[in-house]
Structure 1
Amino acid sequence: MDRTMTAVTVGERARLGDPGSEEAWLDEGGFYTSRRWTVSQEGDRGFRTAYLVGRDEATGRTDGLVPFHTVSGGDSNPLYNEATLLGGAPAVQVLAGSRTGYDNRVLLRPGLSDADRGRLMTALCDRLLERADEQGARHVSWWYLPEREARELAALPGFATVATPCPPSASVRPRGASFDEHVAALPASRRSLVRRDLKRLAGGGYRSRSVTADPAALEAYAPLVVQVQARHGEELDEEGAVRYLRRCLSIGSGDDVVITEVLASDGRTAAFALGIVHGRTLYMRVFGCDYAAGHGTHGEYFEATVYGPLRLAMERRLDAVHLGVTSYRAKSLRGAELRPRRAVLMARSDQDLPAPAPDWSFLGDDERFLAGASSEVIPC
């Protein structure tokens, strides 16, 4: 039975800081809604970030948090720009929750009753729309929500909402106590493909290792990141790559930031991937490859981003390696599970929302996964 609903106060912070160790639950929803990741993104790509905080009036305890990010015109990343969803970008966009990383959550204290959850979410969303209106936005958008939380937002009284699919989230989980056991436990077609990948790598003289990221070594990785970005049609210089890698190191602590290197037969780094451990998951963030030296054709990508990180996850007894979005067929054929994500647009109930007209054609073959058309997408 629900307990009596508490009164809610919604305040605002310009910066997050550390609300206190008793609020560690704020970090338990996943890396991309954690405080250390969110704070690290403040000011990135011209976004202005602030925070709505919902508190129990009787105790002053923080029971909910909504980061929100405002930008004029939109994000240069089409995977987070409303132009992709609506066919055109509003003059001002307000994104709620996470705005990078392709995963999102509504941050409410675990253990709240259903009534208190609804009351708190309503209060937070009411204030969120008020702030959006002050900044010239007629609605807000929540990107990459699990289906359960998208439904919960849509059920709130007093708001108009519309939901549309986002690219699903990909992750791979260890099967067995060792990497060999994991491969043996895969379905036959996937097992065969993984073994071919590994055979190609060995035949090319490649090996891999996972190491704790060393700040003094970052400049050596930067040219490999630049080459990958150039293949995707994005301009990035080595200085910018070093800045981004340093930012990744600033997010972690101790041995949380790890790099899987794929080494060529001469011992030089042919490819690498950087990941950050949060909770019991390794989140992959950056891939680089030395295409100019002739690498990239022997499965180096999958060794750096899937197989090597999975071995590390097993060594550390982690639950999963988070692989982000896109390249779904290749990832699922190597054992990844895909979970659907949705974007929710929200406005006042007396306002009309724009009708979604999503265009994910730039994703190529990945577009079919948006509607859950693939058998690899797991409902949640």
Structure 2
Amino acid sequence: MLAGLTPAAWDELAGPHFYSTSAWLRFCAAEYGGSGDAVVRDGAAVPYVELTGPPALPLYRWTEQLAARGLPAPPPAGLMVGPREGYQTHFLGAPEGVPALIEELRARAAGRPCVAMYLPTSELELARRAGVTAPAVVMDADAWTAVDGWPGYLSSKKRYRIRTGRRAFEDAGYKIRHLPLADCVDLLAVPASKTLAKYGIDSEPEVERVALNSHAVHMGAAARVALCCRDGGDPVGFCLYYVGTDAIFLRWAGFDYDRLSGAAEYGNVVLAAQLDLAAELGLRWVHAGLKSYEAKALYGAKLRPVWLLDLSPDSVLNAAADQVRQHNASFYRRLSEDPRTASALDPETWRSIHEDTG
């Protein structure tokens, strides 16, 4: 799975990129079957997996995702570059080794699609310098919140709303405890299931209990939970997170909506509590991931694009550069014209949004 490297050697290459660490790749292998593989060349590395059909997670199904955006798509079988979960793909180690990585990936793909999912802009630029020409497609906006100075660097209006939310949360009698996930798996199945139902995904609590337990079993003590309780009862909400080398990575949130008081539970449990913890631990960032842009922007997150890039030299997207550009511009425009998210866009990472065609 690690191309012959020891976990320690691999993790040295992975550095701060939690979703590229050996532990997370082992979790993905256990969760989805098969060990995956990796390329290591010239001091650089990247994981990948061989797909014979669509992957398990819908947001990684590049054929469906591109079709939903009105774009041509490679067939679903081929090499998916990056981890199978986490929505973050990085070229690890020495930047000068990226051309050799891409050359080797193309050779292993042997004419099949070779698609990198959820690349941050920094990684897109490395691929560009390595000669990848296919137009990159914005998949989503990724939220990162700086810990240093929080919440002092926010506008007075946002600070007021956060203070008001904290006060309402405390007045409602809520308490937050940080525990190992393994200590409370069975208590989280109902709120996990109800949050999925809120977004139109049918799931039984037992299914979610099994999924949560997989994190506890395969990630061990690294899987931590911020638990929201009141009056000594079962939790009304939770946030599963992982502590990386310089960031807390938020993984999963769930709430039992029938038992909430409307006291800014999401903001306090998922965002404020983790920012407080990150400050205590001396970390630089809280990575809040995709979706829920407005709530994350309120708490100070900067929104950065994550991209799909077909590394294949003969990508079907080559003939759709104008369509890709229009999609990217439309996605950016929705965020930039919304007053709740406009100021949250990280300008450096969005600078090529209108002109990136390869």
What corresponds to 2:356 in structure 1? none
What corresponds to 1:37 in structure 2? 24
Give 1:168-187 correspondences, 5 Å limit. Answer: 168-176=141-149, 182-187=150-155
Give 1:69-108 correspondences, 5 Å limit. Answer: 69-75=49-55, 77-82=57-62, 83-86=64-67, 87=70, 90-108=75-93
CA shift for structure 1 position 331: 0.7
- Asked whether the 8 Å contact 2:38–2:45 carries over to 1, the reply is yes
| Structure-2 separation of matches of 1:351 and 1:206 | 52
- Asked whether the 8 Å contact 2:272–2:299 carries over to 1, the reply is no
Q: Deviations over 1:124-156 (max 9, x none)?
A: 22221232236xx2x322122222321221232
What corresponds to 2:170 in structure 1? 202
- Asked whether the 8 Å contact 1:29–1:105 carries over to 2, the reply is no
1:223 to 190, 207, 213: 190
| Structure-2 separation of matches of 1:168 and 1:96 | 19
Q: Determine helix, strand or coil for the equivalent of 1:103.
A: coil
Q: Deviations over 1:284-335 (max 9, x none)?
A: 111121224x326221111111111122212222222110111111110111
Query: Does structure 1 residue 320 correspond to structure 2 residue 285?
Result: yes
Aligned length: 338
What corresponds to 2:320 in structure 1? 355
In structure 2, the gaps of 5 or more residues are: 350-358
What corresponds to 1:332 in structure 2? 297
* Length-normalised TM-score, structure 2: 0.82
CA shift for structure 1 position 41: 0.7
1:153 to 127, 133, 146: 127
What corresponds to 1:310 in structure 2? 275
What corresponds to 1:241 in structure 2? 208
Instruction: Name the structure where helix makes up a greater proportion of residues.
Output: 2
What corresponds to 1:300 in structure 2? 265
- Asked whether the 8 Å contact 2:267–2:295 carries over to 1, the reply is no
Per the alignment, do residues 319 and 351 of structure 1 end up closer, same or farther by CA in structure 2, a change over 3 Å counting?
Answer: closer
Q: Which moved more, 1:25-34 or 1:299-308?
A: 25-34
One-letter amino acid of the structure 1 residue matched with residue 20 of structure 2:
T
Q: Which moved more, 1:38-47 or 1:297-306?
A: 38-47
Q: Determine helix, strand or coil for the equivalent of 1:288.
A: strand
Query: Does structure 1 residue 288 correspond to structure 2 residue 254?
Result: yes
- Asked whether the 8 Å contact 2:30–2:218 carries over to 1, the reply is no
Structure number with greater Rg is 1
Query: Does structure 1 residue 193 correspond to structure 2 residue 193?
Result: no
Percentage of pairs with the same residue: 22
One-letter amino acid of the structure 1 residue matched with residue 120 of structure 2:
P
Superposition RMSD in Å: 3.3
Per the alignment, do residues 263 and 49 of structure 1 end up closer, same or farther by CA in structure 2, a change over 3 Å counting?
Answer: same
* Length-normalised TM-score, structure 1: 0.77
Per the alignment, do residues 98 and 369 of structure 1 end up closer, same or farther by CA in structure 2, a change over 3 Å counting?
Answer: farther
What corresponds to 2:237 in structure 1? 271
In structure 1, the gaps of 5 or more residues are: 1-13, 56-62, 177-181
| Structure-2 separation of matches of 1:154 and 1:330 | 33
What corresponds to 1:212 in structure 2? 180
What corresponds to 2:114 in structure 1? 140
Instruction: Name the structure where strand makes up a greater proportion of residues.
Output: 1
Per the alignment, do residues 270 and 359 of structure 1 end up closer, same or farther by CA in structure 2, a change over 3 Å counting?
Answer: farther
| Structure-2 separation of matches of 1:15 and 1:27 | 11
| Structure-2 separation of matches of 1:365 and 1:339 | 12
What corresponds to 1:58 in structure 2? none
Q: Determine helix, strand or coil for the equivalent of 1:210.
A: strand
| Structure-1 separation of matches of 2:81 and 2:337 | 23
| Structure-1 separation of matches of 2:314 and 2:123 | 19
1:375 to 336, 343, 355: 343
- Asked whether the 8 Å contact 2:147–2:275 carries over to 1, the reply is yes
Per the alignment, do residues 201 and 258 of structure 1 end up closer, same or farther by CA in structure 2, a change over 3 Å counting?
Answer: same
Q: Deviations over 1:336-355 (max 9, x none)?
A: 12223222112226987463
What corresponds to 1:54 in structure 2? 41
| Structure-2 separation of matches of 1:360 and 1:242 | 41
- Asked whether the 8 Å contact 1:259–1:272 carries over to 2, the reply is yes
| Structure-2 separation of matches of 1:42 and 1:352 | 30
| Structure-2 separation of matches of 1:103 and 1:252 | 18
1:125 to 102, 105, 127: 102
CA shift for structure 1 position 264: 2.0
Q: Determine helix, strand or coil for the equivalent of 2:98.
A: helix
